[in-house]
Each structure stands twice: as structure tokens, then as C-alpha cells.
Amino acid sequence: MKPIDPKLLEILACPKCHARIQEAADGLHCTQATCGLVYPVRDGIPIMLIEEAIRPPVSRQPQSSTGNG
């Protein structure tokens, strides 16, 4: 994946929940644990469409520690 300009990453937000976006090897990840969508990047262009996003497997999403267990 071609790196995204850091200035662009500063202004991008998840279209679904409006949280910040973080760049990763497999796309742009929403940083909100309850959303967690991954947006693809094609030819260096972020595809910030909810319809194009992928929900990662549950095991990849951060776990909430509630102390019950």
C-alpha cells in the first residue's frame, strides 16, 4: 500500500462514527473500538465509503475490560 500523506490522515475521519483514522498495512482503520471499520486504499487513494469498508474479525477488535471474569 502506498503511504498516505500525514496531512491528509490528520483530517480524515470515519464516515460512520466520525472517529480518527489510523493507517495500517491492510487499509485505514477507524480507531473507535465499537465501529472498527477498515477502509481500503486503491492506488494511494483512500476509499472512504461505508459500503466499501470491511468489518475486521472480532478477534482483531480491542477487548473491553470490565473486570467481570
Domains of the chain with CATH codes? 6-60 (2.20.25)
H/E run at residue 55: none
42 neighbors 48 (Cβ within 8 angstroms) = no
What are the pLDDT digits (tens) for 56-67?
A: 877 654 555 555
Contacts of 1 (CB under 8 A, 6+ apart): 25, 26, 27, 41
14 neighbors 50 (Cβ within 8 angstroms) = no
Kindly report the number of other CB atoms within 10 A of residue 33's CB atom.
11
Task: State the pTM of this model.
Answer: 0.78
| pLDDT range class, residue 68, cuts 50, 70, 90 | low
